[in-house]
Structure 1
Amino acid sequence: MIAWDDIYKVITSVFPLYVALMLGYGSVKWWHMFNPDHCDAINTLNCYFIMPLFQFNFTTRVNPYKMNFRFLGADAISKALIIITISSWAKFTTKGNYPWSITSFSLSSLSNTLVVGVPLIKAMYGPFGENLVIQSSILQFTVWIIFLLLMYEFWTANKSFDSVVTTNVYTRDLEGNNEEVTSIITTRPSLFTLMKIVGLKLAKNPNSYACFVGLAWALVSYRWHLKMPSIVEGSVLIMSRAGSGVAMFCMGLFMALQQKIIDCGATLAAFGMLLRFVVAPASMAVSSLIVGLRGDVLCIAIIQVNL
């Protein structure tokens, strides 16, 4: 049975996040404090400085040698089930298409694990739950974000290939007659080329560096029991502590800049909610039962995909 004290802990942990969101929304929509250029500057600060250090800080907390691989396996199986379902929908139905497959995979598989997940799960399940959420975040950044980018680049390449550009070249034969020769540009990019493009995009994303460098430090520090120098730890913490608040503030800015709160319309919003709050937890529940998750780990696995 859920006690009132538990409910109060959850509200206490999550409510400040939505205060930051409403401040961001109100600063643009109601008080007109920021224009779009100001919002871009705030988002740039968040993207290149605050969130990478926020990601790095949490990644270094996890012991890579004591990860819950059954939990991570359930997460991987869940996403594999979603990929198979979406691929079948895109291939065998008239309404299915590749762009919507990418969007559907993102909505039903990728979650806001660190910003919202850490304070929520920590309030509900303590440090144990926080650790599992961070593990899920590491897997998301090192595997599934790369997979999503690869899907997007594959779609972009196919789109360019399908809209073939043709040029008409007119030449004269020996008798002086308008012979028309049609030339086509037709080279489809290889998988290696697409992987190279994805790699370059990841190289420009500071969050990728943060996750991989943080994981590398965790591997070294937990292997040889090293402690991060205080001067480095303090430099990371002074920016990363603003991560949750600034991320939610930026989300509020983004919402305020839209013409409508639900800019895509009620139908697409309902479809997105179906993917996030029905498909995602259902697939995770099935995969968790397949690998044999029980108790609090099962609850955490299902809750964190809804975030």
Structure 2
Amino acid sequence: MIGWGDVYKVVVAMVPLYVALVLGYGSIKWWRIFTPEQGEAINRLVCYFTLPLFTFEFTAHIDPFKMNYLFIGADAIAKVIIVTILALWAKCCSKGSYCWSITSFSLSTLTNSLVVGVPLLQAMYGSMAVDLVVQASVIQAIVWLTILLFVLETRRSGNDLYANNNNNNDNNDNNTAALAFGDKTSKDLEESAKKDDEDRPSFCSLMKTVGLKLAMNPNSYACILGITWAFLANRFHFQMPSIMEGSILIMSRAGIGTAMFSMGLFMAMQKKLIACGPSLTVFGMALRFFAGPLTMAIGSVAVGLHGDVLRVAIIQAALPQSITSFIYAKEYGLHADVLSTAVIFGMIVSLPVLIGYYAVLEFVH
């Protein structure tokens, strides 16, 4: 049973994040220490240095031979369900959008397991729950954040390649001029549309560009290197050299703090405190606290989880929004306002929501 002391431990873990957030917000809004351009540079520092090292550090210290593969399978099923629904919505619905599908996937599936999940689930179910939460974090970093990074890079690279075609710019200019003078025929419009399709980059050229960019992005391989080290270290029973450990820790310890600081900078540059508006905020909270746990419950039942493992699986799927998802959204220019709101308000409302799940799941056997 959760006591006030356990709630206090969770609050202790969360308050420092908001301190970093307020410092970032005040740095632009009140004290004018940073300019918006400098804020962009800080976000890139977080994206390409502190977060990859943080990911490597916690991934490298797990024991992959002791993972609960049924739990991981349930998590995979839950995420595949969400991906399938979002893909069908984007393709078949008139209001569907691939861009919003990407953001909805982040909102539904990517959680802040380590900061909030570890102390809270330790209080609820003990060390077994902590092990499962860490495993979920590692799989999220290795598989789902890597896939998200690939999709975001593909989207940006495709737009860049299309925008950089001189043929395309000339074609658009000619279309505009012709329309202005009223001499554009139906045949011309069809030829123009065909020309636009031809100007789009081929799949091979797009994948080559994406591959080169991801090869230069440390987020692509930080988790892979981390899990590789974890396999070797646990198989052959050796430890990371202290000089290597220290070199990683000096930056990785700043990962979450600088990410929250960057979010504060972003908030300060928005016109409203709730950057995305109340309707999108409610939408994000619904995906975070209901869609994720619902699909995780389906996946858990499908693989036969039961007892406390089932309860932990559902509750960890309702943890607050991943901070990394905001950093990626900011870097790639896709609904960063929605993700920042989901992180900030998600952590505020998560405690009563998660305790509510805990109380309800006590009746599940």
Q: Please confirm whether the aligned pair reaches a TM-score higher than 0.5, indicating the same fold.
A: yes
Whether 1:279 and 2:291 are equivalent positions in the alignment is yes
Counting only pairs closer than 5 Å after superposition, residues 110-121 of structure 1 correspond to structure 2 as 110-118=110-118, 120-121=120-121
Distance 1:70 1:113 in 2: 19
2 CA distance for matches of 1:204 and 1:123? 41
Aligned partner letter, 1:60: A
State the SS of the aligned residue for 2:198.
Answer: coil
Q: For residues 146 and 53 of structure 1, do their structure 2 counterparts lie closer, same or farther at Cα, with a shift above 3 Å needed?
A: closer
Q: Measure the CA separation in 1 of the matches of 2:228 and 2:289.
A: 34
Return the offset for 1:73: 0.7
In our comparison, the structure showing a higher alpha carbon Rg is 1
Q: Do the aligned partners of 1:89 and 1:96 also contact (CA within 8 Å) in 2?
A: yes
Counterpart position of 2:317: 305
**Equivalence for 1:108:** 108
Q: CA deviation at 1:54?
A: 1.1
Structure 1 residues 10-49: aligned runs within 5 Å: 10-49=10-49
Local SS of the residue matching 2:221? helix
CA contact 1:57–1:237 (8 Å) conserved in 2: yes
How far did 1:36 drift? Answer: 1.4
TM-score between the two structures when normalised by the length of structure 1: 0.82
Q: What pairs up with 1:107-186 in 2 under 5 angstroms?
A: 107-118=107-118, 120-121=120-121, 125=125, 127-152=127-152, 153=154, 184=195, 186=198
2:263 alignment partner, one of 251, 254, 274: 251
Q: Number of aligned pairs?
A: 294
Take 2:98 and 2:133, find their aligned partners in 1: how far apart are those partners?
A: 30
Aligned partners of 1:22 and 1:252 also within 8 Å = yes
RMSD across aligned C-alpha pairs, in angstroms?
Answer: 3.1
Deviation (angstroms), 1:123: 5.8
AA of the residue aligned to 1:43: N
Compared CA separation, residues 193 and 70, structure 1 to 2 (3 A): farther
Give 1:160 shift. 5.6
Return 52-61 or 113-122, whichever deviates more. Answer: 113-122
Contact preservation (8 Å) 1:9, 1:124: no
Deviates more, 1:27-36 or 1:113-122: 113-122
In structure 1, C-alpha distance between the alignment counterparts of 2:201 and 2:276, rounded to whole Å? 32
Deviation of the 1:244 alpha carbon: 2.3
Q: Distance in 2 between matches of 1:296 and 1:201?
A: 42
Percent same amino acid among aligned pairs? 55
Structure 2 CA distance for aligned equivalents of residues 105 and 61 of structure 1 = 28
Structure 1 unaligned segments of length 5 or more: list them. 169-179
Q: TM-score, normalised by structure 2?
A: 0.70
Return closer, same or farther for 1:127/1:242 CA change in 2, 3 Å cut-off: farther
* Structure 2 unaligned residues grouped into runs of 5+: 175-187, 321-365
More helix by share: 2
SS in 2 for 1:10: helix
After superposition, the C-alpha distances for 1:105-139 in whole angstroms (9 at most, x for unaligned) are: 22212223345545554565555434333322332
